[in-house]
Amino acid sequence: MLIKSIKEMKEIIKEEKAKGKNVGLVPTMGYLHKGHVSLIRCSKKENDITVVSIFVNPIQFGKNEDLDKYPRDINRDFYFCKEEGVDYVFYPSYKEMYPEGYSTYVEVEGLTEGLCGAFRPGHFRGVTTVVNKLFNIVNPDRAYFGKKDYQQFKVIQKMVKDLNMDVEVVGCPLIREEDGLALSSRNKYLSSEQRKSALSLSKALFHAKKLFEKGETNPEKIKKEMEKLISSYPYVKDIQYIEIIHPETLKPKEKVEKGDVIALAVYVGDTRLIDNIKL
């Protein structure tokens, strides 16, 4: 069922909960792909009711980012959700979520400073605000986030802990295409030639993992090799960052250890892609 009104969504959840049902929420910006589907399947397995929210959240986009051209196709998404047995698709309008005079924001400090946070000021404030609102509307027992957006996953976990929210934040594995490309709605922007260059991200991550497994623990050496590999591809415009970080603090490591995460953000043409791997 497609629900556009906050009031109606809240009423439905109240009724379901009164029947003793537990609720899983999968927050998305739509243009669903196999990455989203894996989150939906996790939720279906662990909850009686699964809600997928589809909302391209304007306040998490910077001024010069791709808000206007972000791919949208609610009919396709709704069909996708139906096929997967999703119980409710929550699809509010901008005005429904942010009526005139809206002025409240949620901000997690620390974890949001590095990586994407350093290049996208205000991004995580937009994410935590909208996720907070979605949690208040859907009142989920569990909420599902992909580790494709590793920093986002850790930031949401921290918000839930710090604000004593009664939601279990579940992190789901990153889903890749067969050739290694991490699935993303933004892959739609890539021409077939650019897509070949986009493969450099996962290739560099896999190469880094191999170097580590062979005994390399110097992050600078690993990062340099990754940079060399990625910049050898055409259409690579800008490597925003390559960082080897502690999986919990997200702080850069001086010596690489098992369990660390290598995360990167790269512009291929005008498309900003992110990816990561756990060692």
List the catalytic residues.
36
Least Cβ distance, residue 13 to ligand AMP (angstroms)? 20
Residues 178-197 that bind ligand AMP (CB under 6 A): 182-185
Residue from 239, 211, 243 nearest 225 by CA: 211
Q: How far is CA 153 from CA 25, 162, 233, 248, in A?
A: 14, 14, 30, 11
Does residue 272 contact residue 251 with C-beta atoms inside 8 Å?
A: no
50 counts as binding ligand AMP under rule CB under 6 A? no
Least Cβ distance, residue 28 to ligand AMP (angstroms)? 4
Does residue 117 contact residue 267 with C-beta atoms inside 8 Å?
A: no
Least Cβ distance, residue 126 to ligand AMP (angstroms)? 11
CA dihedral over 249, 253, 255, 256, signed as positive or negative: positive
Task: State the number of binding residues for ligand AMP (CB under 6 A).
Answer: 17
Q: Binding pattern to ligand AMP, positions 133-172, x when CB under 6 A?
A: ------------xx-xx----------------------x
Residue nearer to ligand AMP on the CB measure, 36 or 256 = 36
92 counts as binding ligand AMP under rule CB under 6 A? no
Using DSSP bridges, classify how beta strands 236-245 and 261-268 pair: parallel, antiparallel or unpaired.
Answer: antiparallel
Residue nearer to ligand AMP on the CB measure, 180 or 252 = 180
175 counts as binding ligand AMP under rule CB under 6 A? yes
Least Cβ distance, residue 140 to ligand AMP (angstroms)? 13
Please state, as a whole number, how many other Cβ atoms lie within 10 Å of the Cβ of residue 204: 28
Task: Give the bridge partners for 262, in sequence order.
Answer: 244, 277
How many whole angstroms from its chain centre is CA 216?
A: 29
Q: How far is CA 245 from CA 224, 233, 260, in A?
A: 15, 25, 6
- Joined together, the tokens standing for residue 142 give 């569990």
Least Cβ distance, residue 64 to ligand AMP (angstroms)? 19
- Joined together, the tokens standing for residue 175 give 């889903």
Residue nearer to ligand AMP on the CB measure, 256 or 263 = 263
Q: Binding pattern to ligand AMP, positions 7-46, x when CB under 6 A?
A: ---------------------xx-----xx-xx-------
Q: Which residues bind ligand AMP (CB under 6 A)?
A: 28-29, 35-36, 38-39, 145-146, 148-149, 172, 174-175, 182-185
